[in-house]
Amino acid sequence: MSRFVPSLFIAATAFVPNCNALQYDQWGAIYNFRSGGQYSTKSSSKTELTFPGVKFFISPGDSFDFVPSSGFSTRLEELEQNPLFLASPEEQAIVRGSDEDLAKWATSRLDHDHSTSSLQKHIAPRPNESLPGKVLTVDSEKFVVRAEHTAVICHALDQDAHLCHKLHKPMDITEVTVSPNGKPSKVWVACHYGEVDDGETICHVMNVGDLMFTTIDLGGRPAEYTTAKKLLRQKSNNE
């Protein structure tokens, strides 16, 4: 696969209609909104980033653990000047403010029933030390969450602005533990399934501070399973 050239960001996004398309560059590689390029950790195999004993490398260019101060993100300005990005406000938006403001935007897009479900927030953790530029070995892995159909992702562009958008394909998050200097740190690996045209799986290390919002029913299951369960019960009652 060809390597992404950061200077081509504006040209690469000039022909895409919404953030689902914006999430990938013209070669189908998943896009890192904070850095303006591909994730250095991108992989088509989940095990290459999560299986105990495997090694991976986070490039300093990913801006993995560095979130610019408010107003200092050059990516924010580029997105705000992209008319096609702003043409689909129901699918994506630049949301400013606190985590509460992000949750309100996610709630309005997920349309969950407050009487039977609640919003669940998942935020990529900050490691105990700087990890970019080091060869990291996975000590252990732990499942965090999987969204089967809909979820909202919010990418931290700076300390006061996030690019939030809906997902329409499955995505899951796995927490891995690495200990480059003998002390453990947590890193989250996101895997997207079927988002690009050829249905390829794309996984990458999530940037520190990026969020995923999902709906969980009061029984602890993803809300979409509750809906399916209700439909099956209705069908049974009608027979």
Residue 86 clears pLDDT 80, i.e. is over it: no
What range defines the domain where residue 232 resides?
6-238
Whether residue 11 has pLDDT greater than 50: no
pLDDT of residue 75: 82
pLDDT score of 114: 52
Residue 37 lies in a domain: yes
Q: What is the pLDDT of residue 184?
A: 97
- Which is more confidently placed, 212 or 117? 212
| Whether 200 contacts 44, CB under 8 Å | yes
CA pair distance 187, 208, nearest whole angstrom: 8
User: Can you read off the two tokens belonging to residue 220?
Assistant: 């602890």
In the structure, what pLDDT confidence band is assigned to residue 87 with cuts at 50, 70 and 90? low
Q: Is residue 234 part of a domain?
A: yes
pLDDT at 239 over 90: no
DSSP states of the chain: -PPP-GGGHHHHHTT--SHHHHTB-TTS-BEETTTTEE-TT-BS-THHHHSTT-EEE--GGG-TT--PPTT--HHHHHHHT-TTTTT-TTTEEEEES-HHHHHHHHHHHH---TTTEEEEEEEPPPPSS--TTSEEEEEEEEEEEEESS-EEEEEEEETTEEEEEEE-S-EEEEEEEE-TTSS-EEEEEEEEES-STT--EEEEEPPTT-EEEEEEETTSSBHHHHHHHHHHHHHHHH-
- Average pLDDT (141-168) is 92
Q: What pLDDT, in 10s, does the model give residues 102-146?
A: 999 999 988 655 544 688 999 999 999 999 999 999 999 999 999
Model confidence band, residue 76 (pLDDT cutoffs 50, 70, 90)? confident
What integer pLDDT is reported at residue 194 of this predicted model?
83
Inside any domain, residue 1: no
Instruction: Give me the mean pLDDT over the 190-219 stretch.
Output: 84
Residue 89 in this model has a pLDDT that exceeds 90: no
- The predicted model scores a pTM of 0.77
pLDDT digits (tens, 9 = 90+) for 24-57: 443 344 789 999 888 999 999 999 999 999 999 9
Structural domains counted in the chain: 1
Residue 210 has pLDDT above 50, yes or no: yes
Within-domain flag for 141? yes
The answer to whether position 223 is within a domain reads: yes
Q: Is the pLDDT of residue 21 over 60?
A: no
In a domain, 227, yes or no: yes
What per-residue confidence (pLDDT) applies to 217? 64
